[in-house]
């Protein structure tokens, strides 16, 4: 099959519910600021009851990334599971209207479509409480190996490693992609996710199923169990045949590949409103640049531009035309 898709993503299909919150509210609710934690349906209902006015938008880490890829004018597809309910239909409508192919069959029974309750503090930090719901029904049968082998890049979110059947889907897609000579990218997603699966994530790299890793500083520290950034970065650079991309918030991004190291600054923003989706959209820009053959510095600049756009407003989906934004900054012809 010829390459007809630039980036295929597999991840949790989630509808986000966002609200403002103060730090002391998080403390009273027993929530870890800036982290993602999985919750059951009862806990989700409890947290929701304590939230103030909300904004509801479709989300999910890899889904956010794929909408960004499509926004840059590239072809994108997404695999993720939703139920045939109001939230599931809303998710499907939103991602398709963003230009992303989404053909995963709806679940007709079982748990409801997944929701993420996001509390945003005045400093723009987001604390996420995720009820996975129908996401946990994603399995190997939902993965078309021909689709995985046809995409230039397969993008996988670390959060997907939690549900066992989804893990099998992840591996099926990665093996098909690598067998076809394609590239496979893994987002580490969250430091607590890395804590749970550190050994397995490293094994994916060392087994050559993954050849691109996206991480932020805390995830990188967790992966190599060190508090020293340079030590962790050297360990990442030392992995064979791996492209490592490490975001550092306002300090920009560092890209390492063997002995090559490139640092790119962050784009300035007037005000950080909400950091939800910053890493997701950074990955979108970087993957778009990589798929179009840009050098690593150019891809990182594209990612930084997309991240700056997303943190300037509430929600993890772009509000500006990303392709035009890239052209305005001289990053795309």
- Average pLDDT of the chain to the nearest whole number: 93
C-alpha pair distances (Å), 312 with each of 5, 274, 319, 324: 30, 7, 10, 17
* pLDDT score of 1: 37
Q: Say whether pLDDT at 4 is over 90.
A: no
User: Percentage of the chain with pLDDT > 70?
Assistant: 99
CATH assignment of 5-12+60-98+135-328? 3.40.1190.20
Beta strands in the chain (DSSP E): 5-10, 14-20, 36-38, 55-59, 76-79, 100-102, 114-120, 126-131, 151-157, 183-187, 212-216, 243-247, 253-257, 260-264
Number of CB atoms found within 10 A of residue 25's CB: 17
Task: Using pLDDT thresholds of 50, 70 and 90, give the confidence band for residue 206.
Answer: very high
Q: What is the mean pLDDT of residues 117-145?
A: 92
pLDDT band at 315 (very low <50, low <70, confident <90, very high): confident
Q: What percent of the chain stands above pLDDT 90?
A: 83
Residue 162's pLDDT is 82
Side-chain half-sphere exposure of 255, counting CA atoms within 13 A? 20
pLDDT, tens digit, 9 for 90 and up, residues 35-65? 888 899 899 999 999 999 998 888 899 999 9
Domain boundaries, the chain: 5-12+60-98+135-328
Q: What gap in Å lies between CA 51 and CA 21, rounded to an integer?
A: 8
């Amino acid at each position: 099959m010829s390459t007809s898709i630039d980036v295929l993503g597999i991840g949790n299909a989630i509808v986000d519910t966002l609200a403002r919150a103060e730090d002391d509210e998080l403390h009273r609710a027993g929530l870890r600021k800036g982290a993602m934690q999985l919750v059951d349906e009862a806990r989700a209902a409890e947290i929701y009851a304590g939230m103030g006015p909300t904004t509801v938008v479709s989300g999910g880490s890899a889904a956010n990334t794929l909408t960004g890829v499509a926004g840059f004018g590239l072809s994108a597809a997404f695999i993720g599971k939703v139920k045939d309910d109001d939230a599931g239909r809303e998710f499907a409508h939103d991602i398709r209207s963003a230009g992303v192919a989404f053909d995963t069959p709806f679940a007709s029974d079982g748990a409801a479509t997944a929701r993420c309750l996001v509390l945003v503090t005045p400093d723009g930090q987001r604390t996420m409480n995720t009820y996975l719901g129908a996401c946990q029904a994603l399995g190997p049968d939902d993965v078309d190996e021909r689709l995985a082998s046809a995409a230039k890049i397969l993008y996988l979110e670390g959060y997907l490693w939690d549900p066992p059947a989804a893990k099998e889907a992840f591996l099926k897609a990665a093996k098909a992609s690598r067998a076809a000579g394609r590239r496979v990218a893994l987002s580490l997603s969250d430091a607590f996710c890395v804590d749970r699966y550190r050994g397995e994530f490293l094994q994916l790299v060392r087994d050559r199923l993954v050849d691109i890793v996206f991480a932020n500083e805390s995830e990188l520290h967790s992966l190599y169990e060190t508090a020293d950034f340079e030590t962790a970065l050297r360990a990442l650079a030392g992995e064979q045949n791996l492209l490592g991309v490490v975001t550092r918030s306002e300090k920009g991004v560092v890209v390492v590949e063997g002995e090559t190291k490139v640092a790119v600054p962050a784009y300035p923003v007037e005000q950080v409103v909400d950091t939800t989706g910053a890493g997701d959209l950074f990955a979108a820009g970087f993957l778009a640049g990589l798929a179009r053959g840009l050098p690593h510095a150019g891809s990182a600049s594209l990612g930084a531009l997309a991240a700056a756009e997303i943190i300037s407003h509430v929600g993890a989906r772009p509000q500006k035309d990303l392709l035009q934004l890239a052209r305005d900054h001289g990053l795309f012809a």
